[in-house]
Amino acid sequence: MAGSIDRVNLAARNAGLEIEIRRMGESTRTAQDAANQCGCTVGQIVKSLIFEGKDTGRLMLFLVSGDRQFDLTRAAALTGENLKRADPRRIREETGFAIGGVSPLGHKIAIAAYADRTLLDHDVVWAAAGAHDAVFSAEPNALVRAASAVVADLAV
């Protein structure tokens, strides 16, 4: 996993985002686990969700606040195609991240990214950093810029 954490660190640096990756020692796989480990609210946790286009097979990244539910219908309208959950093996092979450690940054492939507008309501958010127990904090607007994410209403 060190390679994926290194990719996140390098991608952040290349995007001008200064981060400190922290290994928490316990799992941060769920938003609640991550909030407990980070000492923040669930809403400050960034869920990095990977879906694929049903027609194109193209992988897409959706960044959603931990206290919100991803809205597949809204996301499909935004991307212009129906979506389905991507296979975890494919996610790992193509992005370089296993489920539970998918970061907004440092993917092995170019990936279209979208961020739910409610993430911007926080002063600081926490995101996965390439491993199930690795996280980093960032100012939400800076994170969205670093991820080259389109901001939209993606959750309810």
**Which tens digits make up the pLDDT trace of 90-107?**
999 999 999 889 999 999
Q: What is the torsional sign of CA 3, 37, 71, 17?
A: negative
**Which tens digits make up the pLDDT trace of 140-152?**
999 999 999 999 9
**Which residue's structure tokens are 């946790």?**
45
Domain positions in the chain are 2-152
What number does CATH give the domain 2-152? Answer: 3.90.960.10
Predicted confidence at residue 2, as pLDDT, reads 60
Predicted confidence at residue 27, as pLDDT, reads 72
Supply the pTM of this predicted model.
0.95
Half-sphere exposure of 102 (CA within 13 A, CB side): 29
pLDDT at 28 over 90: no
Q: Which of 37-41, 109-113, 148-152 has the lowest mean pLDDT?
A: 37-41
Predicted confidence at residue 18, as pLDDT, reads 94
| Residue 118 contacts residue 68 (beta carbons within 8 Å) | yes
Predicted confidence at residue 33, as pLDDT, reads 85
* Three-state SS at 59: strand
Predicted confidence at residue 8, as pLDDT, reads 97
End-to-end Cα spacing for the chain: 33
Burial class (CB in 10 A: 0-12, 13-18, 19+), 18: exposed
Predicted confidence at residue 132, as pLDDT, reads 87
Three-state secondary structure readout of 65-83: ECCCCECHHHHHHHHCCCE
Q: Encoding tokens for residue 155?
A: 């959750």
**Which tens digits make up the pLDDT trace of 4-27?**
999 999 999 999 999 999 998 777
Please name the residues in contact with 65: beta carbons below 8 A apart, sequence gap of 6 or more: 43, 44, 45, 46, 47, 116, 118, 119, 121, 122, 125, 155
91-122 burial, b if ≥16 CB within 10 A, otherwise e? bbebbbbbbbbbbbbbbeeebebbbbebbeeb
**Which tens digits make up the pLDDT trace of 41-88?**
999 999 999 999 999 999 999 999 999 999 999 999 999 999 999 999
